[in-house]
Amino acid sequence: MAKKASRKASANTGRGGEPHQNVSGDEQYLTTNQGVPIADNQNTLTAGPRGPQLLEDFIMREKITRFDHERIPERVVHARGYAAHGYFETYDCHSNLTKAAFLQDPKVRTPVFCRFSTVAGSKGSPDTARDVRGFAVKFYTTEGNYDLVGNNMPVFFIQDAIKFPDLIHSVKPAPDRDFPQAQSAHDTFWDFVSLSPESMHMLMWVMSDRAIPRSFRMMEGFGIHTFRMINAKGKVTFVKFHWRPKLGTFSLIWDEAVKISGADPDFHRRDLWQAIASDDYPEWELSVQTFTEAQAAKFDFDVLDPTKLVPEELVPLTPLGRMVLDRNVDNFFAETEQVAFCPSHVVPGIDFSNDPLLQGRLFSYLDTQLSRLGSPNFHQIPINQPRCTVANFQRDGQMQMDIPAGRVANDPNSLDSGVPRESHEHGFQSIAVEESGQKLRMRPESFADHYTQARMFWISMTEPEQRHIVGGFAFELGKCHEPKIRRRMLGHLKIIDGKLARQVATKLGMNESDADPIKPAVKVGECRPSSPLSQYAAPPESLSGKKIGLLTTDGVEAKLYNALLKAAKSEKATLEVIAPTIGSIATSAGKEVSPDHFVTGAPSVLFDTIVIAPAAQHADKLTSMAAAVDWLRDAFAHLKIIAFTEPATPIFELAGMAMDADEGLVNLSEQTVNEYVAAARSFRIWEREPLVR
């Protein structure tokens, strides 16, 4: 019998199906697509350890280009997205910081288009998957388009763009089976990050509640990288960008996120659409952290390292202005799908740093748009068109929609009317920074600390947030079939925090001693908690932007219903009615009410707080429905504030719940609506969690 062909080699092979081999034929090399052996696949070629990337790096360019062109037309990453139009207003003239025109005049509204997204999943994946969220804003300024392309987390998994294809390949569905979809809970992802210590800080964020936001409207955004701003006098300042939502920052609980994925996989996009459609316009404040190069040199981390953040205690935020989203798109494909964001789209007054991840993105995003949109003329698509004059000698190309006149298409020339021409006064000029160094592939030593800020994040969390991080790690690592991956990750967690490692090990049925010994490249530094890193260190003060679910029946008490409507409006919240069926019901005063949902189609996970108030004569219509009992059980398990009237008593009995279990249960009447609203502002009853999980 013939031997079965070996399937060991998983890398690309040569034309004959044989793995690439070295000269002696006894070892397999990693090579380029041209067969050139690769000496270093982890670091981009730079001028000096902290210098800019070199265009001659054919290894990085081939790898990124091949990656960018893998799929057409869906985005390789950030495929699942949703967007809206709006405007940006600067609070003041910031000419001391930058000459960027959109940050000069408080009377000017700069149009914006903002797209939110998940990173790993396809276009058809659910909104509430555990994932990083993209937060990209296109400013249509008077000096051209400026794209601030960031995420809802201030750091990233990797330090160098050359590793980006590997990161995304690791988290995407396995190429042999094409699953799991929109999940990182599998061997290939955790194998990669456990072999990449630089990922540890980002993993703390992704395993936290930040990876399952309540809505786009309640999500922070960050520029991630260090950028430069320059003013008219030539003064240069380093900046980090921050978006802070007016509604505050809130997240889902994991079990809640899982159930929402089934009940409404469009939960986040529906939330944004409905808020704007009802004139409840979401708003964010744009701030920057500012510091000089001399100040940055004194930090105990490198500001060019995208796996690090600048603690706000070290550099406070400086508010610049606000963004308001006030118009939904008219056509999803024409706008949201065809919008092209590129970090290289900057305006005079904003420039780049030598962050190696940013440097790679400056190449990759443009290359991606050429692949997705099929032409260098993608800037002529309406959603991408600048709102200012465009004038140059670029011509032709697929999908050319302009009709440039004249016989001249070159610069310089003396045959046209003399325009357009360069403008040294108004044109974009890169900041003059002296660069020198050997051509090499290596990380600077200042990038070597992978654990201190991960520890800072952990100790900055409240107890519930720490519980959820432990749960996140345990769930994801529990999905890994290779024990060596769990042991390796446990070794990293021990370095971050012993308590974290012990709790994760216990949930995995492991001992702390099972962890692989891992020696950090440098000693882990001392750190203090940073309160802005916690979402819940400061209690919420409002119900604004939240949804109240009222489960009721025909004959609902009219005064109570009206009082709830009034309270919701006063709080800038939304009251939605859920009935046994979708048919109209009437209040006790005879007023017709059209339910927003029926109980089996709208589980309580879709609401931030709930009220159960059936009419006494029709309460049996709810008690006969298992979905109504589950409605209550789920809300309690998800730590929500629950208000109820006396006719709801049988539902509590069927659920096996006491009506006075904790302060999150409010006996409701027309007179106690304000008491309920005050309780509901707290969002969750965290003290309940150890009892229900």
Domain boundary among 384, 409, 433: 384
Question: Do residue 116 and residue 196 come from a single domain?
Answer: yes
Per-residue pLDDT at 71: 60
Enumerate residues 6+ apart whose C-beta is below 8 A from 607. 547, 548, 549, 576, 635, 640
Report if residue 323 sits inside a domain. Answer: yes
Report if residue 541 sits inside a domain. Answer: no
Report if residue 36 sits inside a domain. Answer: no
Prior bond to 73 cis, omega within 30?
Answer: yes
Per-residue pLDDT at 375: 86
Helices (H) and strands (E) in the chain, counts: 18, 20
528 burial (CB, 10 Å; 0-12 / 13-18 / 19+) is exposed
Distance CA 469, CA 460 (A): 12
Per-residue pLDDT at 390: 87
Taking CA atoms, 470 is separated from 166, 254, 476, in Å, by 26, 12, 10
| Full domain range(s) for residue 478 | 451-533
Task: Give the predicted TM-score (pTM) of the model.
Answer: 0.91
Kindly report the CATH number assigned to the domain that includes residue 644: 3.40.50.880
Return the biggest CA–CA distance within the chain.
91
Residue type, 686: W
Question: Do residue 180 and residue 320 come from a single domain?
Answer: yes
Per-residue pLDDT at 394: 86
Report if residue 140 sits inside a domain. Answer: yes
Taking CA atoms, 294 is separated from 290, 402, 596, 603, 689, in Å, by 12, 47, 58, 55, 47
Query: What is the CA 492 to chain-centroid distance, rounded?
Result: 24
Per-residue pLDDT at 26: 58
Cβ proximity of 46 and 54 under 8 Å: yes
Helix (H, G, I), strand (E, B) or coil at 89: strand
Kindly report the CATH number assigned to the domain that includes residue 521: 1.20.1370.20
Question: Do residue 236 and residue 89 come from a single domain?
Answer: yes
Query: What is the CA 684 to chain-centroid distance, rounded?
Result: 23
Query: What is the CA 165 to chain-centroid distance, rounded?
Result: 19
Question: Do residue 360 and residue 232 come from a single domain?
Answer: yes
Report if residue 498 sits inside a domain. Answer: yes
Per-residue pLDDT at 300: 96
12 burial (CB, 10 Å; 0-12 / 13-18 / 19+) is exposed
Question: Do residue 523 and residue 582 come from a single domain?
Answer: no
Nearest C-alpha neighbor of 302 from the set 458, 97, 443: 443
Question: Do residue 679 and residue 607 come from a single domain?
Answer: yes
Q: What is the dihedral of CA 516, 519, 523, 527, to 10 degrees?
A: -20
Question: Do residue 629 and residue 518 come from a single domain?
Answer: no
Domain boundary among 353, 384, 415: 384
Per-residue pLDDT at 642: 98
Helix (H, G, I), strand (E, B) or coil at 141: strand
Counting as low any pLDDT under 70, the low residues of the chain are 1-27, 70-72
Report if residue 434 sits inside a domain. Answer: no
Phi and psi (nearest 5°) for 487?
Answer: -65, -40
Helix (H, G, I), strand (E, B) or coil at 602: coil
Question: Do residue 480 and residue 599 come from a single domain?
Answer: no
- What is the pairing mode between strands 609-612 and 585-586? unpaired
Per-residue pLDDT at 25: 52
Per-residue pLDDT at 56: 82
Question: Do residue 558 and residue 529 come from a single domain?
Answer: no
Percentage helix, strand, coil for the chain under 3-state DSSP, each rounded to 5: 35, 15, 50
Taking CA atoms, 440 is separated from 34, 253, 304, 521, 556, in Å, by 21, 46, 17, 20, 74
Q: Which residues are catalytic, by number?
A: 78, 151
Question: Do residue 121 and residue 239 come from a single domain?
Answer: yes
Total domains in the chain come to 3
The residue ranges of DSSP E strands in 234-335, in sequence order, are 236-245, 283-291, 318-328
Per-residue pLDDT at 4: 38
Domain boundary among 533, 566, 592: 533
Question: Do residue 569 and residue 476 come from a single domain?
Answer: no
Question: Do residue 486 and residue 570 come from a single domain?
Answer: no
